[in-house]
Amino acid sequence: VQGPATIDALARVPSRVQLFCFSAVTWNPHRIHYDPDHARSEGYPDVLVQSHLHACFLVQALTQTLGPEAIIRRFSFQNVAFATAEEPLTCSGALHASRRVPDGLELEYELTETDSRGDMCARARATVLMPTAESQVSE
Amino acid sequence: VVDRVAGKHLFGGLQRRSQPRGISCSRVGLTRNSLFPCVLIRNEERTPAAYRSIVRFANVRRVDGIEEHRISAAPAPLGTLGELCENLTAMVGRLGPEVRANLVRQDFERFAAASGDDPKLEEENGRAVAPLLFVCSIQDWHSPPLLDGLRWDGTGGDRTSFLPLDGFRLMGGGQEIDFHAPVLEGTELRVQASLENAELKHGRSGDLVVLTVKTIYADETGSLLVTSIDTLLVR
């Protein structure tokens, strides 16, 4: 028994408005995310997508495929390259390992997020518990 | 025109040999119309690397085909990256401030919406469950929030305000997050960061200090909810 072998591709295009709202709601005042002049002064072509927003997209890809019953126990991500506002991003992934545990099936997925040129912006690894019917009944 | 204090920062940096890369010292001088020091870069020298490097010290104003880099409110870094790494290594184990925050449903919904997710939340015993990455995405939990304490570029939340990073550029590099229990509305969250490690590395785009900061999120009884280990890149 194992979980889905692949994570369905998820497309996201983070708009300037979204970057602003994400900075606001996470209380992230770093100018690099909303001040284009400042971003350029640091050598970037435009405002940057937040590190954690990349991570949110990767988690959304995972839960889109695995469904709400999946319990994410561990999630690690690395920002590999920057992405700017309005850049189309695509998240996808594949099953790396699976094993039975007392409360269900533990799955390990590897995920990547790439930009429109196919270059990787972020990668992640997630450990997910899929409760089995037996473990749910026994609870 | 460059102000005196900023000029001092610039020349202090040059004396410590931490001047912007790709810009020769001979390019540093006085402008025709200014008694104060500034840096001149010819167009052909305006490479991305040189540009990224000089912005630690300056903003840009175009003057007759020459880029005049004018000192802005950006403070000069307090020493070189090597010195910073030594200072931070001596601080390993240092705790940041313990901060408390009351978690409310509307903040969860706003986070979900802003991250492009479905703002309809899961519930547990009638209490909304926070989106998975909610707590470890928030940069500062102070209540009331602090604006005056932020650095000129807007950085300086709970996770780094206790570290001597003024004048350096800070970027998130990733996180390793363990989820111990669901984070529910109505929780009085307790957040505590600590410096775990600092290491000088030589990256493709130049030297950087890689910081590891651990943050613990617990509820009002002290039960662990989330643990996060952040990688922060300092240039």
CB contact B157 to A (< 8 Å): yes
Give chain A positions within 8 Å (CB) of B234.
Answer: none
Give B123-140 pLDDT, tens digit per residue. Answer: 999 999 999 999 999 988
Going along B19-141, which residue ranges are E strands? 28-30, 37-42, 58-63, 66-71, 99-102, 123-124, 127-128
Spatial separation of the C-alpha atoms in residues B234 and B57, rounded to whole Å:
16
Give chain A positions within 8 Å (CB) of B177.
Answer: 74-76
pLDDT for the residue numbered B53: 53
Tokens of A95: 């099953």
Q: Do A22 and B153 touch (CB under 8 A)?
A: no
Q: Do A75 and B116 touch (CB under 8 A)?
A: no
Above 80 in pLDDT, residue B26? no
pLDDT for the residue numbered A42: 82
pLDDT for the residue numbered B167: 75
Give the minimum alpha-carbon distance from B125 to chain A in angstroms, rounded to a whole number. 16
8 Å CB contact between B34 and B1? yes
Tokens of B101: 């925050």
Give B156-208 pLDDT, tens digit per residue. Answer: 776 777 888 877 888 888 999 999 999 999 999 999 999 999 999 987 778 89
CB contact A54 to B (< 8 Å): no
Give chain A positions within 8 Å (CB) of B169.
Answer: 42
CB contact B143 to A (< 8 Å): no
Spatial separation of the C-alpha atoms in residues B57 and B73, rounded to whole Å:
9
Give A47-56 pLDDT, tens digit per residue. Answer: 999 999 999 9
Which one of B175, B208, B233 makes the best mutation probe of the A interface by having the most chain A beta carbons within 10 Å? B175
Above 80 in pLDDT, residue B31? no
A47 vs B73, higher pLDDT: A47
Average pLDDT, chain A: 92
Above 80 in pLDDT, residue B144? no
Spatial separation of the C-alpha atoms in residues B42 and B2, rounded to whole Å:
18
Q: Do B111 and A38 touch (CB under 8 A)?
A: no
Q: Which residue of B has its CA nearest to A44?
A: B52
CA distances from B161 to B9, B138, B147, B156, B205 (A): 22, 14, 12, 5, 26
Sheet architecture: strand order including B28-30: B28-30, B37-42, B66-71, B58-63
Average pLDDT over residues A54-60: 98
8 Å CB contact between B153 and B73? no
CB contact A12 to B (< 8 Å): yes
Average pLDDT over residues A6-16: 98
Least confident of A35-39, A105-109, B70-74, B231-235: B70-74
Give chain B positions within 8 Å (CB) of A43.
Answer: 48, 51-52, 55
Give chain A positions within 8 Å (CB) of B153.
Answer: 30-32, 38
Give chain A positions within 8 Å (CB) of B107.
Answer: 25
CB contact B104 to A (< 8 Å): no
CB contact B112 to A (< 8 Å): no
Residue B34, SS3 per DSSP: coil
